[in-house]
Chain A
Amino acid sequence: MVWCPDWPLVSWGVPMDEPALVLEVNRVVATTPAARAEGVALGQRRREAQGRCPEVVLLGRDLDREARLFDPVVAAVDEFAPRVEVTGPGLVGFPTRGPSRFFGGDSALAEMVYEKVQPLLARRGELRVALADGVFTARLAARTGEPITVVAPGQSAAFLADLPITAIDDPELTEVLTRLGITTLGRFAALSSTDVVGRFGRDGLLAHRLAKGEDDHPPDLRRPAFDLSVSWAFEPPADRIETCAYAAKALAEEFHAGLQSRGLACTRVAIEAETEAGERSLRLWRNQGLLSAADVADRARWQLDSWLHQGVNSRPTSGIVHLSLIPDEVVPATGNQLAFWGATNDQAEAVTRAVARLQTMLGPDSVTVPEFKGGIGPGERIRLVPAAAVDLTQPRPAASAGWLNEPWPGQLPAPSPAKVHADPKPIELRDRSGQLVVVGGRGLLSGDPAMMCMAGRPSQMVATWAGPWPAEQRWWDPLTRSRRARMQVCLGDGSAHLLMVERQSWFIEASYD
């Protein structure tokens, strides 16, 4: 297992001695050592991290970029073994039994891999190489802090015994175990399998296997007996990544449908592409969980993207004519069970996919979701959050009615105006004798409004009105303070508007459409 712990930052090219972090859905997913020294930790919220270290550089997560730049590392590892599997950007592994015999033992192999990959990182970020019986053990061994860790054959259980139970990535299970007093993997492994199954079911059994140092996949793992691979022939050959990506997406759906019809799910997929001139790119991709159709499509895109954008010497010389997805390891699918009477029509995932596509077309700020926030004016009570920054599949209390129940001084009661003008339109308000209506220092009108005039429109009679309600905002801040008053008016034609006055100028702020 070869692991670059700070890969998201390495891919951005950030120097490791400067504090920086990478965010995904407002949570920290990677930090530089400099930022860690200031107390920034994984899983923190953005604000929390900024509080600890105000000068930290914030970066967004860009999986495509990470995957593209990770390809040289994969290519380097590829020279040691024929079947390299990529778990994701930053983590790559391969079965070592054959290679280590060829290269003269486990330690020698691990060192050679380290020497080979280290220069590629250009001394930015750490590199960990770990070698063990199983993938899970190797992954934990990579976390020990040593650049090279070799767990001798048969020693996995002993190596794991002292590690905390939270190494198993299943918070629900580990929390219960901790409360039961089982705090290390060794103590969990000491329980009998039958008891674990009886209490925790299938997921518990899998975790128990991991703790015992056995492979993280069930033993009935097999290559499918029937051919479930799908392929796509490009006619004419595709040389643009967009064309390939669309094909990959359609192919991934087909691939998934094929697996699903057999009740299977894929844990490792081989993606193979071939060009007109016969060049081939084959890569194995593993996921810690199961690979969904969207995951497979993503991985195909990463692989082709990095292949097509390689240096001049290794870049394919002609367009891609053939793309296949081959399920390499499958397990029985125990996944989502749809509701008995037809599916509960949950569109959040489809919406998330649409958001991702629209964002690339229109820019990140042009697709937004609303959230409530405190404020006085009708436009100030909603905040538009870029949709890509929010997990749309989870409940979002900030967007539910009733999020803000506390009274907000100066806020008008419901109903609110249905049309909030982007740029308030200037108007004049006159009383019965034709004098301009102004608001005095005590918040009183100089006369009853009778006519409303807008530039270029016939003036209209004010039928009924109420207000003004003064709203003094940010009186403590000389730069942004504002003194406004608002009024509701109903005009002769039946339309109702919200007027706003600031420095004796009247505007239509919103309309009750």
Chain B
Amino acid sequence: MTLPEIRERIAPVRLAGQHQLPVPVALAELFPLGGLPTGWSVGVSGVGSWSLVAALAGALVEDHRWAAFVGAEEFGLVAASEVGLPLDRVLLVEHPEPQQWATVMAVLVEAVSVLCINPSHPIGQRDARRLIARAREQQTVLVHLDGGRAWPVPLDLSLWVEAGTWEGLGQGSGYLCSRKLTVEAQGRRSMAMARRRVVSLPDVDGHMLKAGC
């Protein structure tokens, strides 16, 4: 542990906004605070959003944190592992019945740091606000795999993904190899200004890399 890290940990006062989870290096420029504040809800949408969520969650769960995916039966876990999500700290939960949804979320938000949801039904205003309050208190990040379509309250941060073409495939030859994604982020407070960055996801090595703008 370096000296600045120790200094940060033993600082007498830490404001709520200073509690942050690390983000992938390639996306660091999208987050002017240096990380993702805990308790925020983040919506991710667009082609390539599932890969982005996997890469993002991989950085968020560093340092023994856990991630839970609710109702993400189609999530390609091999691909997620390839872009850096440690599968030994991933919990998968099936779609709960709508009347059980709030209870299931209340249990999960206490246990994990990253809660990825993909609701199959519209969420009620009350359930949503209660979950947000619990997430702030428990320092959990909520990630909406559907881009927040079923969410009745404004998101703290929205990430739009625009996929470029894949490299490596020819007319009957080659393999898929890498592609570029354009990620646009806009959110609350310090992130009110929309920012765009281009990343390679996956890169030729399978990771996420910063690419030219």
B203 vs chain A, min Cβ distance (A): 9
What's the Cα separation between A103 and B63 when bound, in Å?
60
Q: Is the CB of B163 within 8 A of A414?
A: no
| Seed contacts A344-B64, A347-B64, A464-B174; 16 additional CB < 8 Å A-B pairs | A341-B1, A347-B66, A347-B113, A348-B64, A353-B111, A367-B91, A372-B81, A399-B87, A418-B51, A419-B75, A445-B172, A464-B171, A466-B174, A488-B169, A512-B79, A512-B179
Q: Is the CB of B91 within 8 A of A418?
A: no
What's the Cα separation between A496 and B176 when bound, in Å?
8
Q: Is the CB of A496 within 8 A of B166?
A: yes
Q: Which residues 330-357 of A have a CB within 8 angstroms of B?
A: 341-342, 344-348, 350-351, 353-355, 357
Residue A413 at the B interface, CB < 8 A? yes
**B96 CB contacts on chain A under 8 angstroms:** 361-362
Q: Is the CB of B107 within 8 A of A358?
A: yes
List the one stretch of A43-51, A77-85, A317-325, A379-387 in contact with chain B.
A379-387
CB-contact partner of B93 in A358, A370, A381, A496, under 8 A:
A358
What's the Cα separation between A466 and B86 when bound, in Å?
30
What's the Cα separation between A366 and B91 when bound, in Å?
10
CB-contact partner of A418 in B10, B64, B75, B103, under 8 A:
B75
B138 vs chain A, min Cβ distance (A): 10
**A358 CB contacts on chain B under 8 angstroms:** 93, 104, 107-108
Residue B100 at the A interface, CB < 8 A? yes
B30 vs chain A, min Cβ distance (A): 20
What's the Cα separation between A412 and B174 when bound, in Å?
11
Q: Is the CB of A494 within 8 A of B47?
A: yes
What's the Cα separation between A415 and B74 when bound, in Å?
16
What's the Cα separation between A184 and B69 when bound, in Å?
52
Main secondary structure on chain B at its contact with chain A? mixed
Q: Is the CB of A513 within 8 A of B48?
A: yes
Residue B112 at the A interface, CB < 8 A? yes
Interface string of B165-197 (1 = CB under 8 A from A): 110011111111111000000000000000000
Q: Is the CB of A357 within 8 A of B82?
A: no
Q: How many residues of A contact B (CB 8 A)?
A: 60
CB-contact partner of B175 in A346, A351, A396, A413, under 8 A:
A413
Q: Is the CB of A354 within 8 A of B92?
A: no
Q: Is the CB of B164 within 8 A of A351?
A: no
CB-contact partner of A367 in B86, B93, B170, under 8 A:
B93
Residue A134 at the B interface, CB < 8 A? no
CB-contact partner of A400 in B6, B83, B88, B172, under 8 A:
B88
Q: Which residue of A lies closest to B97 (CB)?
A: A362
CB-contact partner of B81 in A346, A401, A466, under 8 A:
A401
B52 vs chain A, min Cβ distance (A): 9
**A512 CB contacts on chain B under 8 angstroms:** 51, 79, 166, 176, 179
Q: Is the CB of A418 within 8 A of B50?
A: yes
Q: Is the CB of A414 within 8 A of B91?
A: no
Q: Given contacts A465-B169, A466-B175, is CB(A361)–CB(B104) below 8 Å?
A: yes
**A353 CB contacts on chain B under 8 angstroms:** 111
Residue B15 at the A interface, CB < 8 A? no
Q: Is the CB of B92 within 8 A of A369?
A: yes
Q: Which residue of A lies closest to B61 (CB)?
A: A347
The 5 closest A-B pairs by CB, nearest first: A354-B111, A399-B88, A464-B169, A416-B79, A418-B50
